[in-house]
Structure 1
């Protein structure tokens, strides 16, 4: 008798992990889903939707891997955000300390890459974080909200070039643009703060957000995401459009996003 797939989910905050759970159940009936969540990050209502759930502190890598091994996990995905304040409030166990000692450049890619290596030592393969989610990756063109005007589209295309450059330097993957001027570039503070800052500087008029993937992005642990929160934040900050990278940006809770975009008059266009 062949055993069903057992997939471990390392779940940060937001609706991304839940979206994955629903898609996995649909695409791979009988799959066993084992979740490790983080205190004060992961939504507690995720636990009843999966087969096993353990909450750990950020930094308890040994506990996470032991739980996966005990539950028979052979494949894992990483998804959802960990807020910067929790990353700095790391109370690391020995396994994380040894990992940190090996990593010279500390960015998302190197740290998560090193965690991937630790998982593989215990026979766990890290999968792409868009596994089962292909239908949530919009293709090029108009996606939601009002169709963008030509002037806005120019700003989105300009922002796309800028964001591709900043992301290749490991600075950030989002920029806020108005009339060909870069108002804000995302760095460590996260997309929402970047949006608010850019909106304020753009006087809430004709201002747009562009979000891209890094060149050579490793989709195992870092996928650009747009969900209802992004739309609300943009609307509050007075942004009128969001440019995303076609085929490489996850649209989460699509029905809600489409509704919010029409309601708040925020456009989404895939470039």
Structure 2
């Protein structure tokens, strides 16, 4: 296995592949067991009970910098599996598992920093992931969207203070959905299920379920289908949590999110400028324009 200055500590989804592809020198790809990323070969898989030994592995491979990217679920710790190098970390790991999502991330990041690694943000490694403020695509939002933004921001802030989700859906000035631990796309899939009268399988990692994916893949075409449901309006709002460490778990949207929003009958998406990454912008723009939706980086 080659030496590498940078290691990606990855979870599920497309973000790890986007970050890896943008690096001139291939990074070391390290995945928490059971959390392999999309379309990316993993060099090292590790258990949280072996974190101390894993940090030693990183040093042996010449790693100086790490980047956390991708979705994970909080693992349960099996005390019988803890290795000797991890034993001194047990109090911190136990507190992380017992706390909220943000506190858990801060604890794990702190362990890497204490071990001497520099933590890099995904958007520092791939600046194009953070779009500039303004409108993206051919469609402009109506004045009702701007009028509803303060309420959406207040809801997002309250969710963040409670260490809950990073997104909500507004319709006619009212909150109709709030993100939970399953992620943004699962929240939108719930709206689709409500509209269609069918229950779609939920994916706890924020990606749409395989059962729903075939329907969502055709979302950009349903405007031209005379039998398609009428658009009910509203918009998805997504922003970081107040006080969030922007180096890790920065909110992300991509083509699947736009397809979900289209299928849910939304008019568009508003994301916080400098606080939400966009994967595969060219595809996102294509889907937005075909679906007649807006994306406002506010």
Query: TM-score range, shorter-chain basis?
Result: 0.7 to 0.9
Report the 3-state secondary structure (helix = DSSP H, G, I; strand = E; otherwise coil) of the residue aligned with 2:23.
helix
Deviation at 1:62, TM superposition (A): 3.3
Report the 3-state secondary structure (helix = DSSP H, G, I; strand = E; otherwise coil) of the residue aligned with 1:213.
coil
Shift in alpha-carbon separation, 1:199–1:124, aligned structure 2, 3 A: same
Q: Comparing both structures, which one devotes a greater share of its residues to strand?
A: 1
Do the aligned residues in 2 keep the contact of 1:130 with 1:219 (CA within 8 Å)?
no
Aligned with residue 222 of structure 1, among 223, 238, 249: 249
Distance (Å, rounded) in 2 between the aligned partners of 1:144 and 1:74: 39
Distance (Å, rounded) in 2 between the aligned partners of 1:16 and 1:121: 26
User: 2:28 matched to which residue of 1?
Assistant: 34
Q: Deviations over 1:148-200 (max 9, x none)?
A: 12223333443123212321231221111110111111122221222233456
Distance (Å, rounded) in 2 between the aligned partners of 1:57 and 1:210: 34
User: 2:147 matched to which residue of 1?
Assistant: 154
User: 1:130 matched to which residue of 2?
Assistant: 123
User: 1:179 matched to which residue of 2?
Assistant: 172
Shift in alpha-carbon separation, 1:64–1:110, aligned structure 2, 3 A: same
Deviation at 1:68, TM superposition (A): 1.1
Q: Deviations over 1:81-100 (max 9, x none)?
A: 11x4xx35555642374433
Deviation at 1:72, TM superposition (A): 1.1
Two-structure CA RMSD over aligned residues (Å): 2.6
Q: Deviations over 1:215-261 (max 9, x none)?
A: 22201212010111111211222222111001211111111111111
Report the 3-state secondary structure (helix = DSSP H, G, I; strand = E; otherwise coil) of the residue aligned with 1:117.
helix
User: 1:56 matched to which residue of 2?
Assistant: 46
TM-score (norm 2): 0.76
Q: Deviations over 1:32-51 (max 9, x none)?
A: 5111024443236322xxxx
Paired residue total? 256
Report the 3-state secondary structure (helix = DSSP H, G, I; strand = E; otherwise coil) of the residue aligned with 1:131.
helix
User: Which runs of 4 or more aligned residues in structure 1 lie more than 4 Å from their structure 2 counterparts after TM superposition?
Assistant: 57-60, 88-93, 198-204
Aligned with residue 246 of structure 1, among 266, 273, 294: 273
Q: Deviations over 1:78-132 (max 9, x none)?
A: 00111x4xx3555564237443334485222221222122223332121223222
Query: In the alignment, does 2:6 pair up with 1:7?
Result: yes
Distance (Å, rounded) in 2 between the aligned partners of 1:237 and 1:41: 28
Structure 1 unpaired stretches of 5+: 26-30
User: 2:108 matched to which residue of 1?
Assistant: 115
TM-score (norm 1): 0.83
Do the aligned residues in 2 keep the contact of 1:199 with 1:207 (CA within 8 Å)?
no
Query: In the alignment, does 2:40 pair up with 1:46?
Result: yes
Distance (Å, rounded) in 2 between the aligned partners of 1:142 and 1:44: 29
Moved more, 91-100 or 208-217: 91-100
Shift in alpha-carbon separation, 1:174–1:73, aligned structure 2, 3 A: same
Distance (Å, rounded) in 2 between the aligned partners of 1:113 and 1:174: 21
